Amino acid sequence: MSELHTIVAGLAFPECPRWHDGSLWFSDMHADQVIQVSASGKILQTLEVPGNPGGLGWLPDGQMLIVGMKSNLLYRLMDATLEVYADLGTVHTHQSNDMVVGDDGTAYIGNFGFDLMAGDPPQSTQLAQVAPGGAVSAGPSELSFPNGMVITDAGKTLVVAESWGNRLTAFSIAADGSLSQRRVWAELGKLIPDGICLDAEGCIWVSACANHACVRVREGGEVLESIDTGNLNPFACMLGGADGHTLFMCNAGSANPKQTLNERSGRIDCVQVSVPAAPGE
Protein backbone atom coordinates (compact mmCIF):
# COMPACT_ATOMS: atom_id res chain seq x y z
CA MET A 1 0.00 0.00 0.00
CA SER A 2 1.33 3.44 -0.93
CA GLU A 3 1.70 6.38 1.43
CA LEU A 4 -1.12 8.74 2.31
CA HIS A 5 -1.08 12.06 0.46
CA THR A 6 -3.31 15.14 0.46
CA ILE A 7 -5.02 16.39 -2.70
CA VAL A 8 -7.31 19.10 -1.21
CA ALA A 9 -6.74 21.05 2.02
CA GLY A 10 -8.25 24.04 3.83
CA LEU A 11 -11.77 22.57 3.99
CA ALA A 12 -14.18 23.02 6.87
CA PHE A 13 -15.79 19.58 7.17
CA PRO A 14 -15.59 17.31 4.10
CA GLU A 15 -18.10 14.45 4.05
CA CYS A 16 -20.21 12.12 1.87
CA PRO A 17 -17.75 11.58 -1.02
CA ARG A 18 -18.88 9.97 -4.28
CA TRP A 19 -16.84 9.01 -7.35
CA HIS A 20 -18.98 9.84 -10.38
CA ASP A 21 -18.19 10.17 -14.09
CA GLY A 22 -14.44 10.40 -13.59
CA SER A 23 -14.26 12.84 -10.68
CA LEU A 24 -14.73 13.03 -6.93
CA TRP A 25 -17.70 14.87 -5.46
CA PHE A 26 -18.06 15.65 -1.76
CA SER A 27 -19.95 17.93 0.61
CA ASP A 28 -18.05 20.53 2.61
CA MET A 29 -20.93 20.46 5.07
CA HIS A 30 -20.25 23.37 7.36
CA ALA A 31 -19.18 25.61 4.46
CA ASP A 32 -22.52 24.94 2.68
CA GLN A 33 -20.79 23.71 -0.47
CA VAL A 34 -20.71 20.67 -2.72
CA ILE A 35 -17.36 20.40 -4.51
CA GLN A 36 -16.25 18.45 -7.57
CA VAL A 37 -12.53 17.72 -7.92
CA SER A 38 -10.33 15.72 -10.25
CA ALA A 39 -8.40 12.70 -8.98
CA SER A 40 -5.40 14.99 -8.49
CA GLY A 41 -7.40 17.52 -6.48
CA LYS A 42 -8.08 20.23 -9.06
CA ILE A 43 -11.35 21.96 -8.19
CA LEU A 44 -13.70 21.60 -11.14
CA GLN A 45 -16.93 22.98 -9.70
CA THR A 46 -18.36 24.38 -6.47
CA LEU A 47 -22.08 24.44 -5.73
CA GLU A 48 -23.57 26.56 -2.97
CA VAL A 49 -26.10 24.53 -0.95
CA PRO A 50 -27.69 26.20 2.09
CA GLY A 51 -28.27 24.42 5.39
CA ASN A 52 -25.37 21.96 5.35
CA PRO A 53 -25.33 19.61 2.35
CA GLY A 54 -25.00 15.93 3.24
CA GLY A 55 -25.45 12.80 1.17
CA LEU A 56 -24.96 12.90 -2.61
CA GLY A 57 -26.28 10.65 -5.36
CA TRP A 58 -27.52 10.50 -8.93
CA LEU A 59 -30.77 9.40 -10.51
CA PRO A 60 -30.67 7.03 -13.51
CA ASP A 61 -31.10 10.00 -15.88
CA GLY A 62 -27.99 11.67 -14.42
CA GLN A 63 -29.72 14.28 -12.29
CA MET A 64 -27.91 14.92 -9.03
CA LEU A 65 -29.55 14.59 -5.61
CA ILE A 66 -28.26 16.45 -2.53
CA VAL A 67 -29.44 16.04 1.05
CA GLY A 68 -30.16 19.28 2.89
CA MET A 69 -29.35 18.31 6.46
CA LYS A 70 -30.84 21.18 8.46
CA SER A 71 -33.87 21.59 6.23
CA ASN A 72 -34.61 17.84 5.99
CA LEU A 73 -35.08 18.35 2.26
CA LEU A 74 -33.78 16.32 -0.64
CA TYR A 75 -32.76 18.61 -3.49
CA ARG A 76 -32.44 17.83 -7.19
CA LEU A 77 -30.00 19.84 -9.29
CA MET A 78 -31.81 20.97 -12.44
CA ASP A 79 -29.98 23.20 -14.92
CA ALA A 80 -27.63 24.45 -12.19
CA THR A 81 -30.61 25.27 -9.94
CA LEU A 82 -31.60 23.46 -6.76
CA GLU A 83 -35.23 22.39 -6.55
CA VAL A 84 -36.96 20.43 -3.80
CA TYR A 85 -37.30 16.80 -4.84
CA ALA A 86 -38.64 15.39 -1.54
CA ASP A 87 -39.51 16.52 1.99
CA LEU A 88 -37.77 14.20 4.45
CA GLY A 89 -39.29 15.96 7.46
CA THR A 90 -42.26 13.60 7.38
CA VAL A 91 -39.87 10.82 8.48
CA HIS A 92 -36.82 12.54 9.97
CA THR A 93 -37.21 14.44 13.24
CA HIS A 94 -33.59 15.65 13.36
CA GLN A 95 -30.88 16.35 10.81
CA SER A 96 -30.88 14.21 7.70
CA ASN A 97 -27.50 12.76 6.87
CA ASP A 98 -25.84 10.41 4.39
CA MET A 99 -27.52 8.77 1.41
CA VAL A 100 -27.14 6.04 -1.18
CA VAL A 101 -29.13 5.88 -4.42
CA GLY A 102 -29.90 2.56 -6.07
CA ASP A 103 -29.71 1.84 -9.79
CA ASP A 104 -33.49 2.22 -10.04
CA GLY A 105 -33.37 5.71 -8.47
CA THR A 106 -34.57 4.74 -4.99
CA ALA A 107 -32.77 6.80 -2.35
CA TYR A 108 -32.11 5.69 1.23
CA ILE A 109 -31.25 8.45 3.70
CA GLY A 110 -30.21 8.34 7.35
CA ASN A 111 -30.54 10.96 10.06
CA PHE A 112 -29.10 11.81 13.46
CA GLY A 113 -32.17 10.96 15.55
CA PHE A 114 -31.26 13.52 18.22
CA ASP A 115 -29.52 16.88 18.61
CA LEU A 116 -25.90 15.76 18.57
CA MET A 117 -24.26 19.17 18.95
CA ALA A 118 -26.51 20.13 21.87
CA GLY A 119 -25.29 17.07 23.74
CA ASP A 120 -28.68 15.38 23.89
CA PRO A 121 -28.73 11.69 24.79
CA PRO A 122 -28.71 9.35 21.78
CA GLN A 123 -32.07 8.21 20.45
CA SER A 124 -32.80 5.55 17.87
CA THR A 125 -34.27 6.65 14.56
CA GLN A 126 -35.31 5.42 11.11
CA LEU A 127 -34.28 5.64 7.50
CA ALA A 128 -36.20 7.64 4.93
CA GLN A 129 -36.85 5.94 1.61
CA VAL A 130 -37.51 8.10 -1.45
CA ALA A 131 -39.01 6.40 -4.47
CA PRO A 132 -38.20 7.51 -8.03
CA GLY A 133 -40.27 10.64 -8.50
CA GLY A 134 -39.89 11.84 -4.90
CA ALA A 135 -42.50 9.97 -2.80
CA VAL A 136 -41.20 9.59 0.76
CA SER A 137 -41.85 6.64 3.06
CA ALA A 138 -40.46 5.45 6.38
CA GLY A 139 -37.81 2.77 6.24
CA PRO A 140 -36.53 0.53 9.04
CA SER A 141 -36.54 2.02 12.54
CA GLU A 142 -34.63 1.43 15.79
CA LEU A 143 -31.32 2.37 14.18
CA SER A 144 -28.52 3.95 16.21
CA PHE A 145 -27.39 6.98 14.20
CA PRO A 146 -27.65 5.50 10.67
CA ASN A 147 -24.79 6.97 8.72
CA GLY A 148 -22.86 5.78 5.64
CA MET A 149 -24.53 3.24 3.35
CA VAL A 150 -23.66 0.97 0.42
CA ILE A 151 -25.68 -1.30 -1.85
CA THR A 152 -24.10 -4.68 -2.51
CA ASP A 153 -24.99 -8.18 -3.80
CA ALA A 154 -25.95 -6.88 -7.26
CA GLY A 155 -28.47 -4.48 -5.78
CA LYS A 156 -30.06 -6.97 -3.39
CA THR A 157 -28.59 -5.77 -0.07
CA LEU A 158 -28.31 -2.42 1.71
CA VAL A 159 -25.63 -2.09 4.40
CA VAL A 160 -25.94 0.75 6.90
CA ALA A 161 -23.29 1.99 9.32
CA GLU A 162 -24.85 2.46 12.76
CA SER A 163 -22.38 4.85 14.35
CA TRP A 164 -23.73 4.64 17.88
CA GLY A 165 -24.30 0.90 17.51
CA ASN A 166 -20.68 0.13 16.52
CA ARG A 167 -21.87 -2.14 13.73
CA LEU A 168 -22.79 -2.50 10.09
CA THR A 169 -26.39 -3.64 9.58
CA ALA A 170 -27.77 -5.24 6.42
CA PHE A 171 -31.24 -5.35 4.87
CA SER A 172 -32.58 -7.23 1.88
CA ILE A 173 -33.90 -4.96 -0.89
CA ALA A 174 -37.18 -6.06 -2.50
CA ALA A 175 -38.15 -5.35 -6.10
CA ASP A 176 -40.15 -2.31 -4.96
CA GLY A 177 -37.14 -0.95 -3.03
CA SER A 178 -38.52 -1.81 0.42
CA LEU A 179 -36.19 -3.19 3.08
CA SER A 180 -36.60 -6.32 5.20
CA GLN A 181 -34.67 -9.20 6.82
CA ARG A 182 -32.57 -7.03 9.08
CA ARG A 183 -29.33 -8.66 10.18
CA VAL A 184 -25.87 -7.73 11.51
CA TRP A 185 -23.30 -7.57 8.70
CA ALA A 186 -20.36 -6.84 11.03
CA GLU A 187 -19.90 -6.09 14.71
CA LEU A 188 -17.09 -3.55 15.00
CA GLY A 189 -16.28 -3.57 18.69
CA LYS A 190 -14.89 -0.19 19.74
CA LEU A 191 -14.80 1.17 16.19
CA ILE A 192 -17.35 3.92 15.44
CA PRO A 193 -18.37 3.67 11.77
CA ASP A 194 -19.18 6.83 9.83
CA GLY A 195 -18.91 6.87 6.01
CA ILE A 196 -18.35 3.57 4.19
CA CYS A 197 -17.64 2.31 0.67
CA LEU A 198 -17.65 -1.03 -1.11
CA ASP A 199 -14.84 -2.81 -2.96
CA ALA A 200 -14.86 -5.40 -5.74
CA GLU A 201 -14.44 -8.31 -3.30
CA GLY A 202 -17.55 -7.32 -1.36
CA CYS A 203 -15.56 -5.94 1.55
CA ILE A 204 -16.35 -2.55 3.07
CA TRP A 205 -13.95 0.27 3.91
CA VAL A 206 -15.13 1.91 7.14
CA SER A 207 -14.21 5.40 8.30
CA ALA A 208 -13.76 4.86 12.03
CA CYS A 209 -14.32 8.50 12.89
CA ALA A 210 -13.12 8.46 16.51
CA ASN A 211 -10.40 5.90 16.00
CA HIS A 212 -8.09 7.76 13.56
CA ALA A 213 -8.26 4.94 11.03
CA CYS A 214 -9.99 3.66 7.93
CA VAL A 215 -10.41 -0.10 8.11
CA ARG A 216 -11.32 -2.72 5.52
CA VAL A 217 -13.81 -5.21 6.89
CA ARG A 218 -15.30 -8.40 5.48
CA GLU A 219 -18.78 -9.64 6.31
CA GLY A 220 -18.67 -11.12 9.80
CA GLY A 221 -16.44 -8.37 11.18
CA GLU A 222 -12.85 -9.43 10.40
CA VAL A 223 -10.62 -6.39 9.88
CA LEU A 224 -8.36 -7.08 6.91
CA GLU A 225 -6.50 -3.77 6.60
CA SER A 226 -6.17 -0.53 8.53
CA ILE A 227 -4.96 2.90 7.43
CA ASP A 228 -3.77 5.31 10.12
CA THR A 229 -5.02 8.86 9.48
CA GLY A 230 -2.69 10.46 12.00
CA ASN A 231 -4.00 13.35 14.07
CA LEU A 232 -7.14 13.78 11.96
CA ASN A 233 -10.40 11.86 12.14
CA PRO A 234 -11.71 10.11 9.02
CA PHE A 235 -15.40 10.87 8.57
CA ALA A 236 -16.01 9.26 5.17
CA CYS A 237 -14.24 7.40 2.37
CA MET A 238 -14.76 6.47 -1.28
CA LEU A 239 -12.95 4.30 -3.80
CA GLY A 240 -12.33 5.80 -7.21
CA GLY A 241 -9.68 7.08 -9.56
CA ALA A 242 -9.04 5.98 -13.12
CA ASP A 243 -8.69 2.30 -12.15
CA GLY A 244 -10.75 2.32 -8.95
CA HIS A 245 -7.72 1.69 -6.74
CA THR A 246 -7.62 5.09 -5.01
CA LEU A 247 -9.18 5.34 -1.57
CA PHE A 248 -10.21 8.94 -0.95
CA MET A 249 -10.68 9.89 2.72
CA CYS A 250 -12.50 12.91 4.15
CA ASN A 251 -10.44 13.84 7.19
CA ALA A 252 -10.80 16.68 9.70
CA GLY A 253 -9.75 17.62 13.20
CA SER A 254 -13.29 18.08 14.48
CA ALA A 255 -16.96 17.62 13.57
CA ASN A 256 -18.07 20.60 15.66
CA PRO A 257 -19.24 23.45 13.39
CA LYS A 258 -18.15 25.95 16.05
CA GLN A 259 -14.57 24.87 15.31
CA THR A 260 -14.45 23.62 11.74
CA LEU A 261 -15.07 26.93 9.95
CA ASN A 262 -12.32 28.62 11.94
CA GLU A 263 -9.80 25.80 11.96
CA ARG A 264 -10.21 24.69 8.32
CA SER A 265 -8.34 21.47 9.10
CA GLY A 266 -10.48 19.44 6.71
CA ARG A 267 -8.80 17.80 3.77
CA ILE A 268 -9.09 15.03 1.20
CA ASP A 269 -6.35 12.46 1.66
CA CYS A 270 -5.86 9.44 -0.54
CA VAL A 271 -3.92 6.21 -0.77
CA GLN A 272 -3.60 3.45 -3.36
CA VAL A 273 -5.14 0.12 -2.34
CA SER A 274 -4.90 -3.35 -3.86
CA VAL A 275 -8.61 -4.10 -4.40
CA PRO A 276 -10.55 -1.64 -6.59
CA ALA A 277 -14.02 -0.20 -6.17
CA ALA A 278 -17.01 -2.43 -6.74
CA PRO A 279 -18.51 -2.01 -10.22
CA GLY A 280 -20.90 0.91 -10.15
CA GLU A 281 -19.53 2.39 -6.92
How far apart (Å, rounded) are the C-alpha atoms in residues 128 and 10?
A: 32
Cα–Cα distances in angstroms (integers) from residue 227 to residues 69, 98, 122, in the given order: 29, 22, 28
Task: Report the pLDDT averaged over residues 36-45.
Answer: 97
pLDDT at 93: 86
Q: Degrees (nearest 5) of the Cα angle 182, 18, 256?
A: 85
- The pTM (predicted TM-score) of the whole model is 0.96
Q: Is the CA virtual torsion 271, 273, 276, 281 positive or negative?
A: negative
Is the CB of residue 99 less than 8 Å from the CB of residue 107? Answer: yes
* Terminal C-alpha separation, the chain: 21
235 SS3 class? strand
Exposure on the CB side of residue 223, measured as CA atoms within 13 A: 16
Residue 114 pLDDT more than 60? no
Q: For 76-105, what is each residue's pLDDT tens digit? A: 999 889 999 999 999 998 899 999 999 999
Banded pLDDT at 201 (limits 50, 70, 90)? very high
pLDDT at 113: 79
Which stretch of 2-6, 44-48, 58-62, 120-124 has the lowest confidence by average pLDDT? 120-124
Residue 159 bridge partners (DSSP): 150, 170
Task: Report the pLDDT averaged over residues 253-279.
Answer: 95
pLDDT at 117: 67
Residue 38 pLDDT more than 70? yes
How far apart (Å, rounded) are the C-alpha atoms in residues 23 and 194?
A: 22
Residue 119 pLDDT more than 80? no
Q: What average pLDDT does the chain have?
A: 95
Pairing, β 193-198 against β 204-208: antiparallel
Task: Report the pLDDT averaged over residues 172-186.
Answer: 97
Residue 197 bridge partners (DSSP): 205
Residue 118 pLDDT more than 80? no
Cα–Cα distances in angstroms (integers) from residue 74 to residues 52, 89, 92, 161, in the given order: 12, 10, 12, 20
Is the CB of residue 129 less than 8 Å from the CB of residue 96? Answer: no
